[in-house]
């Protein structure tokens, strides 16, 4: 009987441990991806309502391109929900499909966000701060390397907006702030050095956010592996006690 217990323990070796770990983190990733999709429904509603509210406040507000962007996000979120249901039905132990799915979501969201930033004033757009939210999501859903890659993407996109600002390709202020009733919100004129200083602080904020969120995630992931190890040891101890009791 003792030998059979040892045989079971031998079977539950590194491969068994790897499968258990993959199942644990697959479930975690599935839940977070679904949460991401549900959060997007709320964002779509808020963005749509905010776009039209801004348009009624100021008729020069670019309501048409922003509405088309919101509609596009609405349509691809429907596809995301269908895709998530399909991936869940496969019941595969491989997490790569969910990782790829998370990459697609974050990439399309960043594209939609920066299109909205472009139409609402570039580097002066109040929407720019929401880029940090996607860095947090990348840090939670993906590997630390992927999170920092998205940091570089965000900074390159923001740097392109700064270049457009310098070359006068963008309006210097968001259209919403052109309303005389909101004159107290008009930003003071900035020279290019002021914009570079702002960009430097933005770089610091982005990388600090990425460092903090990835550090926290790695710490939680390490504790999760410890829990799996403890669970395995408890299973082995229970098997030994059961074998002794049967004797």
Per-residue pLDDT of 82-139, as tens digits, reads 999 888 887 766 678 888 899 999 999 999 999 999 888 788 788 898 999 999 989 8
Q: With beta carbons less than 8 A apart as the criterion, state whether 30 and 98 touch.
A: yes
Residue 231 pLDDT more than 90?
A: no
Kindly give, in sequence order, each residue whose CB lies less than 8 Å from that of residue 57, ignoring residues fewer than 6 positions away: 176, 179, 181, 182
**pLDDT tens per residue, range 64-77:** 999 999 999 999 99
SS3 12: coil
Tell me the C-alpha distance between 122 and 202, whole Å: 14
pLDDT digits (tens, 9 = 90+) for 127-139: 898 999 999 989 8
The DSSP 8-state label assigned to residue 93 in this structure reads S
- Alpha carbon distance 152, 225 (integer Å): 30
- pTM greater than 0.85 (yes/no): no
Tokens of 63: 């309501």
The two tokens of residue 233 are 């040891």
Check residue 131 and give its pLDDT: 93
C-alpha separations of 47 from 20, 42, 58, 73, 205 in Å: 40, 9, 16, 10, 24
DSSP readout, 148-211? HHHHHHHHHHHHHHHHHHHTT-S-SS-GGGGSGGGGGGPPPP--HHHHHHHHHHHHHHHHHHHH
């Amino acid at each position: 009987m003792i030998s059979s217990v040892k045989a079971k323990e031998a079977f539950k070796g590194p491969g068994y441990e790897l499968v258990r770990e993959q199942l644990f983190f697959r479930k975690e990733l599935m839940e977070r991806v679904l949460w991401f999709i549900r959060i997007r429904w709320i964002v779509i509603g808020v963005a749509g309502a905010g776009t039209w509210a801004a348009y009624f406040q100021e008729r020069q507000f670019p309501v048409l391109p922003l509405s088309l962007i919101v509609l596009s996000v609405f349509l691809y979120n429907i596809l995301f929900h269908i895709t998530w249901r399909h991936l869940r039905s496969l019941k595969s132990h491989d997490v790569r499909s969910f990782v790829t799915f998370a990459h697609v979501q974050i990439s399309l969201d960043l594209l939609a966000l920066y299109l909205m930033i472009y139409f609402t004033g570039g580097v002066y757009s109040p929407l720019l701060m929401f880029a940090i939210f996607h860095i947090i999501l990348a840090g939670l859903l993906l590997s630390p390397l992927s999170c920092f890659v998205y940091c570089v993407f965000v900074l390159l996109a923001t740097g392109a907006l700064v270049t457009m600002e310098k070359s006068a390709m963008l309006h210097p202020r968001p259209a919403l702030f052109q309303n005389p009733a909101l004159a107290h919100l008009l930003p003071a004129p900035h020279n290019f050095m002021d914009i570079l200083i702002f960009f430097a602080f933005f770089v610091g904020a982005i990388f600090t956010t990425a460092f903090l969120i990835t550090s926290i995630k790695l710490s939680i992931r390490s504790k999760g592996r410890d829990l799996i190890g403890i669970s395995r040891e408890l299973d082995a101890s229970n098997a030994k006690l059961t074998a002794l009791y049967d004797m």
